[in-house]
Structure 1
Amino acid sequence: MNSKKNFNVKVHKSEVVAAVLPMQEHWLPLSNLDLLLPPLEVGVMFCYLNPIIVSEKINMNLEFNSIVKILKTSLAETLVSYYAFSGDIVENSAGELEILCNNGGVSFIEAFGAVELKEINFYNPDESIEGKFVPKKKHGVLAIQVTQLKCGGIIVGCTFDHRVADAYSANLFLVSWSELAQSKPLSQLPSFRRSSFFPRHPGYYDDSIDDLYVPLSTLPPMKSEILNPNDQVISRIYYVTGGKIEHLQSLANCHDDQKGTSQRSKLESFSAFLWKTIACGINKETWGFNNFRFGIMVDGRTRLIINNVDKSLKGYFGNVLSIPFGEKKVEEVKEKSLNWVANVIHEFLDIAKTQEHFLGLTDWVEAHRPKPSMAKIYAMNGDGPAVVVSSGQHFPAKKINFGWGEPAFWSYHFPWAGKAGYVMPMPSPKGNGDWIVYMHLLKWQIELIEASPYEVFKPVTANYLNLI
């Protein structure tokens, strides 16, 4: 079955859905860790088979209008608990941002796509997803689009402001929304307890924080660059078989002469292969740079729960992220073994695996406020490429069931404007150990990955997803 390149998605209705209960207008400060995030919009989508066919087994009459009603009603209920998503970002008197919790509501769009689910080219989301199924956020901090397809399938797309929530927080919201859609009690209530991330007095942070984050005011002016077709940034979605992941892990753990070291994880092994694959295609004379930065996002919630005392952190809504990274010579990454590269990744990840790292990062931001800061891996100035991997292995996609079955496919969609690459591996809907991998990289990096003789990354197709 060939994918359909040109198809229209027509918006039928656009409205605002607010929390079903009135709330007192108030301001919710962004935490110090929230303040590290630039104004980025993150998209996510869930694709469902025709609900009428799926629901025949349970004798339900789910026309599209009924589906929309269920989604809007349960969304209004969910926003009572997740009131930050029904607010807006405003600037306070100090020039810093905070959330105005005014129940301004969420943009909710109903649309129709003149395409069947099996005809969508998921491999190339720039062509098939961008501007079609994941909405552009025009106001507030969250936008939702529900699209009915020609085959009766449904796509639910969401776009949220990263300054308000990280992926973990968005996942909490999505699971809660689907639970209320099925009239189930919430399995986890969100916590907006900002005191969990108050700075210490006196504050303290290790020098390693200065290696990972930088105040914007200290960055040199950006170099003027000659436009190059290879500077184009594109998105692709692949799958990697569980067998390939296990093979990479075995390679990353072989010839390890460091006695007593723990086994390299699948994520460390995958990341080492990706770093090495791109580096091996770089010609120093052609590209003109020597170094290559590679980082991995770390969620600090588990690092901050001491003896399970502060259980509110399990449901903490906000950003609890750090991006440790390594910077190596391109030639060194090329020549060394996968095991060596995996060990480098393991070492720089160790920096962010402690409670003290996140407490220190909070204190570091406090010491530099109100000047804005950012992760140093993104502060490139023509000195080489950078790629960040964000682990989505705990992405609870199968739980995003609104009453008509689990999604047949899912993916994040994060086409941001920066040149630093972004890679998000997630579990495959097959549940067989395969990974779905969303990549947003420079065009030449994608070309190097696809030219790799190891054939690790395979384009996601309708055939792979069993949609045909």
Structure 2
Amino acid sequence: MMGALKKSLSKLLIPYYPLAGEIVTSPTGEPVLHCNNNGVEFVEAYGEIELLKLDLYHPDASVAGKLVPKTATSVLCLQVTELKCGAMVLSGTLDHRVSDGHSANMFLVAWAEMTTSGTISMTPSFRRSLLSPRWPGSPGKSLNDLYMVVPPTLPETPRLHEYVGRIYYMKAEAMASLQALASSHGTKRTKVEAFSGCLWKALAESADKGEPCKVGVVVDGRTRLIDGVRSKDEMARYYGNVLSLPYGELDSSKLTSNPLSWAADQVHDFLMPAATKDHLLGLVDWVEDHRPHSVMATLLFKGNMKGPSVTISSGRFFQANKLDFGWGRSTLGSCYFPWGLDSGYVMPMPSPSGNGDWIVYMHLFKHQLDTVEAELGDILHPLNLALLKLLEH
């Protein structure tokens, strides 16, 4: 099994050659991906524990420093861990400056295909001209509220609490009920809008009265950029970052006193303007206007951290059900992303079973997680092997 993974990986790095490179600094001070065939770090590990005893609900104890590799220089670092019972855990650390979640999913699916058949169904595109800035550029003033130039030194803000990671299981029927509640005004809200509104309200319960509470939702721009220049196929194959991070900020008292449908409406209102072709083309222009300075989403800025803040990422289309390396479909796909920023992070992903259930990773302050569990304990269940139907075997 280990030999098959390494052999297919070496073949896969031909079409995915940038992942074998490294990040260097250009003469202007910008990070640049240098495609020098530096290679990918590959760690073989063995865990003296059975899968049935692995505490997936508390990834800080079971995953950190054990099942996920650390890398100092490589764009991509992979680790394959065999457990005492024969189960296998495949994990990777990928530089987010090079790859977003869509791209990471594309690579993993291709790796599984290469392992089983020796070919891949989708060749990645590194055609950067697909995201070239316009001339003249037209970034739009609203982007100045969503993005900012990174200061030379970020402010040191004392952290009153420590972040904690937990993984939950959310059943499809619970999601359907949540969506119905969020759509009570007759306007159907999406699952993301319903979930984001629900989490926004739960976070507000953990805040002081009147404290601002912020939630951002990651938007994948690939489907929004399709036009005469960019075909659907090209954008689906595009490897890189095609993301925007709009967010909303509301008084915690308003969030707690209004129904879920109202909160979902607020999510919809800040999300829709960013889910457009004009917004994403403007973002490309905005970034170009500020080069060579590094930029970041305003939501993530440390100096803007009064009150709870969380980013909800876009892992709902992760194709975990396609990750079959030749010895059966994967049982669980999730992430572990304690990113070090003073903002919470939530990644919902589909269960590999394909039944509409979600796996939800949360990286929040402990008191926030405790509040989320108290408020949403009927729909968010601590992840365990019984929920994954593994105890039957």
Is 2:383 aligned against 1:450?
Answer: no
Partners of 2:232 and 2:171 in 1: CA distance: 38
2:155 is matched with which residue: 217, 222, 237? 222
Q: Give the gaps of 5 or more residues in structure 2.
A: none
- CA distance in structure 2 between the aligned counterparts of 1:302 and 1:153, rounded to whole angstroms: 37
User: Which one has more relative contact order, counting CA pairs under 8 Å at least 6 apart?
Assistant: 1
Alignment check: 8 A CA contact 1:267 1:391 kept:
no
Structure 1 partner of 2:350: 427
Rg larger in 1 or in 2? 1
Residue of structure 2 aligned with 1:110, choices 44, 47, 53: 44
Q: Which residue of 1 aligns with 2:320?
A: 397
Q: TM-score, normalised by structure 1?
A: 0.80
Instruction: Return the offset for 1:223.
Output: 5.8
Residue pair 1:125, 1:235 contacting (<8 A) in 2 also:
yes
1:246 to 145, 168, 176: 176
Within-5 A mapping of 1:173-188: 173-188=107-122
Distance 1:154 1:421 in 2: 29
Counterpart residue number, 1:460: 383
Contact 1:293 1:385 in 2 (8 A): yes
- The match for 1:211 among 145, 148, 168 is 145
Alignment check: 8 A CA contact 2:207 2:213 kept: no
Identity of aligned residues (%): 44
For 1:365-389, what per-residue CA distance to the aligned partner results, in whole angstroms no more than 9, with x for missing partners?
A: 1111112110000014242221111
Deviations for 1:274-304, whole angstroms, at most 9, x for unmatched residues? 11012123233xxxx7211111000000001
Contact 1:419 1:442 in 2 (8 A): no
Aligned 1:52-201 pairs, distance under 5 A: 67-201=1-135
- 1:388, 1:421 within 8 Å by CA — same for their partners in 2? yes
Question: Tell me, what secondary structure is at the counterpart of 1:441?
Answer: strand
Aligned with 1:222: secondary structure? coil
Q: Secondary structure at the match of 2:384?
A: coil
Counterpart residue type for residue 295 of structure 1: G
Deviations 1:145-173 (A, max 9, x none): 11111101111111100001001111111
1:414 lines up with 2:347 in the alignment: no
Q: Is the 8 A contact 2:321 2:353 kept in 1?
A: no
Alignment of 1:229-378 (within 5 A): 231-256=161-186, 262-284=187-209, 290-306=211-227, 309=231, 311-378=233-300
What's the Cα RMSD here? 1.6
CA distance in 1, matches of 2:235, 2:206: 42
C-alpha separation in 1, matches of 2:52 and 2:14: 36
Deviation of residue 432 (structure 1)?
2.3
Q: Is the 8 A contact 1:117 1:467 kept in 2?
A: no
Q: Once structures 1 and 2 are overlaid, which stretch shifts more, 381-390 or 110-119? A: 381-390
Aligned partner of 1:236: which letter? R
**Structure 1, gaps ≥5 residues long:** 1-66, 257-261
Larger deviation, residues 133-142 vs 295-304: 133-142
**CA distance in 2 between partners of 1:235 and 1:153 (Å):** 23
How much has 1:218 moved relative to structure 2? 9.1
| 1:420 aligned partner, one-letter code | S
Q: Tell me the residue number matched to 1:43.
A: none
Other structure's SS at 1:182 match: helix
When residues 136 and 454 of structure 1 are mapped into structure 2, their CA distance, relative to the original with a 3 A threshold, is closer
Aligned residues: 389
Distance 1:392 1:301 in 2: 14
Say if 1:146 and 1:154, in contact at 8 Å, map to a contact too.
Answer: yes
Is the Cα contact below 8 Å between 2:204 and 2:308 reproduced in 1? no
Shift of 1:205: 1.4
Mapped to 1, the partners of 2:151 and 2:62 lie a distance apart of 39
Contact 1:305–1:311 (8 Å) recurs in 2: no
**Aligned twin of 1:60:** none
Most deviating of 197-206 and 424-433: 424-433
CA distance 1:184–1:224, shift in 2 (3 Å): closer
CA gap 1:109/1:223 in 2 versus in 1, 3 angstroms = closer
- Give yes or no for contact 1:419–1:441 (8 Å, CA) kept in 2: no
1:202 to 136, 143, 149: 136
Q: Which amino acid aligns with 2:93?
A: T
Contact 1:107 1:139 in 2 (8 A): no
Check the 8 A contact 1:397/1:407 in 2, yes or no.
yes
Which amino acid in structure 2 is aligned with residue 331 of structure 1?
S
- Alpha-carbon offset, residue 210 of structure 1: 1.0
Structure 1 letter corresponding to 2:283:
L
Q: Which amino acid aligns with 1:74?
A: S
For 1:399 and 1:92, locate their aligned partners in 2 and report how far apart those are by CA, in whole Å.
38
Q: Distance in 1 between matches of 2:376 and 2:358?
A: 19
Q: CA deviation at 1:333?
A: 0.9
